[in-house]
Structure formats: C-alpha cells, structure tokens
Amino acid sequence: DAEITQSPRHKITETGRQVTLACHQTWNHNNMFWYRQDLGHGLRLIHYSYGVQDTNKGEVSDGYSVSRSNTEDLPLTLESAASSQTSVYFCASSELQASYNEQFFGPGTRLTVL
C-alpha cells in the first residue's frame, strides 16, 4: 500500500545544531508539504514543493530549508536549531484533483530543541 513515512519519530537536539527531518512518500504525488503543529496555532505551512527541483516558502519558513531531488522525498533542514523550533512536524503529499484537494499526512516527528 502507498504510504508516507517520516523519520525520526522523535528527536532531541541542542540549540545551534543542524537537524534534518526525513519525509518519504510512495503515492507518486507531485505535491509535498511540511507543517509544524503548535498549540493554539493548528498546522502552519513551512515549505512546499510542486515537483522535482521546485521548492517554495510557506507561512513560517524562517530557519528552515527543503530540497526536492526526486518525487518521493522532501527532507526538511533546520540550519541552526532554536528553542522556538520545538514542535511537532508533519509532512504531507497530494495530487491535485479536479474535485478535491486532499492531502495525506505522515505520522509526525516530535522535535525538542534544548
């Protein structure tokens, strides 16, 4: 069955370290997204990609970067982790349909920056 996976599921790191969160989907979807979930804010878009070599900034992109070298993967990198980046991170993918725009989500990565 097609799926979307994230790794690691839990990560503890220190301020200033570089961290990369992996996202892999086997839906063969063109569109991939990274969100962070924080209490009171719901899901906020960090970066997104509409295809290989395409990346775009979302609402809360400062301090984050992504790259898209193939259809299946969209890794999220925190260049220099900050305590404000402690959050739960979700990756999602979708294929634009004429009638709906459902995104499929991964299980999430809980990141703690000390």
Partner 1 sequence: DQQVKQNSPSLSVQEGRISILNCDYTNSMFDYFLWYKKYPAEGPTFLISISSIKDKNEDGRFTVFLNKSAKHLSLHIVPSQPGDSAVYFCAASGGSSGSARQLTFGSGTQLTVLP
* Contact yes or no for 51/77 (Cβ under 8 A): no
Q: Tokens 């097609």 label which residue? A: 2
Nearer to partner 1, 48 or 64 (CB): 48
Site for partner 1 in 22-81 (CB under 8 A): 31, 33, 35, 40-45, 48, 50, 58
Candidates 34, 68, 106, 111; binder of partner 1 (CB under 8 A) is 106
Distance CA 54, CA 82 (A): 26
Stretch that binds partner 1, among 19-27, 65-73, 78-86, 100-108 (CB under 8 A): 100-108
* Contact yes or no for 91/32 (Cβ under 8 A): yes
Distance CA 87, CA 92 (A): 16
CA within 13 Å, CB half, 78: 25
Nearer to partner 1, 72 or 88 (CB): 88
**Least distance CB 36 / partner 1 (angstroms):** 11
Binding site for partner 1 (CB under 8 A): 4, 31, 33, 35, 40-45, 48, 50, 58, 90, 92, 94, 96, 99-108
